[in-house]
Structure 1
Amino acid sequence: MELEKEIEGKMTTCNSSFKIILGSSSLARRQILNEMGYEFTVVTADIDEKSIRKDKPEELVMALAEAKVVVSNGMVREKPNSKEEAREFIKGYSGGHAAVIGSVVVSNLTTGIRKGAWEKAEVYFHEIPDEIIDSVIEEGSTLHVAGGLTLEHPLTSPFVEAVVGSTDTVWGLSKALTEKLIKDNLVAAK
């Protein structure tokens, strides 16, 4: 119990007893870690995520270790390769739903202990008008996010009917899962 209190204190006060390195260039993940109160450094690898393939989305996100994927109509939707593909993705969500599967991997670089898990959230959409889809695509952000659409985008957020699960997962980093894995890793290191 004392160890758990010590770890909780370290996690909530950003104690310098451990440092966090975010292995992602995602602005959303940076924002989430900031909201959680963590100080961190961003270090990214120049890898071709599309060259890493797994049959199951849950295995894919763990293999990518810092990614999320969207699954719609049984198809994995990563970052679109073109505006046409982004349009196809978003039209597929219109009046339907998509699952976002994200992973978190926490590696202790001192002990070598690595803890990881994935989490899923479902997003249900109202019909999204073609003119909204066109505006979002022309803006250009669709090519930089898994599934081609951000939940919080001001043009599309009114068309989100419901989110079942954590919106943090949809944004790219589950707060609860991150806290759990950091805690598990610190406990395993003691």
Structure 2
Amino acid sequence: ADFAARRAFILTADQVVVWKDQILEKPENEAEARAFIAGYAESPPRTVGSCVISCTVTGKQWTAVDEACVHFDSIPESSVDALIEAGDVYYCAGGLMVEHPLVSPHVVRMDGTIDSVMGLCKATVERLLGQAMEARATLPAAEGRELPAAGDT
């Protein structure tokens, strides 16, 4: 698609889970998933997410990094078994699924928002998009001020 011709903003984002200064990827196997989940009661995992909004007309970018930390009690082995059997942990960095009904009762404290922990902080996106929209308003029309309003297609 020719995004510049459409005068659009592009949102890109990614997240990693950090545990004891190690970056945890998606678990590759059952043993790794078990080790990740068991370790969370020992030391709280942190999520580090990045967000970039890019203007396709000017190339200007607005960026932010958002961090959150989750403190856990031990998650029972029966819950870990069920999580692994369901398989969803293999699609999440660090196998971290705070929203899952088998996991959420064991969250003691969350420093940050749940949407940040899950991968994309809405408040950060809104703030960056606001900055991008404000910057766009100062451009001459020929340079892209007439971009579609937020929510327009």
With structure 1 as the length reference, what TM-score do the two structures score? 0.64
| Counterpart Cα distance in 1 of 2:77 and 2:59 | 49
Tell me, yes or no, if the aligned pair for 2:11 and 2:53 is still in contact at 8 Å: no
What is the match of residue 78 of structure 2?
A: 131
Mapped pair 1:182 → 2:102:
no
Aligned partners of 2:53 and 2:132 also within 8 Å: yes
* Other structure's SS at 1:90 match: helix
Number of aligned pairs?
A: 132
Detail structure 1 runs of 4+ shifted over 3 Å in the superposition.
17-23
The answer for unaligned runs of 5 or more in structure 2 is: 1-5, 139-153
> Does 1:146 pair with 2:93?
yes
- Contiguous gaps of at least 5 residues in structure 1: 1-16, 24-65
Q: What's the C-alpha RMSD, in Å, of the aligned pairs?
A: 1.9
Q: 1:98 matched to which residue of 2?
A: 45
How far off is 1:162 after superposition?
1.0
Post-superposition offset of 1:187: 2.0
Identity of aligned residues (%): 39
One-letter amino acid of the structure 1 residue matched with residue 38 of structure 2 = K
Higher strand share: 2
User: 2:146 aligns to what?
Assistant: none
AA of the residue aligned to 2:91: H
Change in Cα spacing, 1:18 to 1:158, as seen in structure 2 (3 Å) is farther
Task: Report the alpha carbon displacement of residue 94 of structure 1 after superposing the two structures with TM.
Answer: 2.4
Give 1:107's match in structure 2, choosing from 54, 61, 81: 54
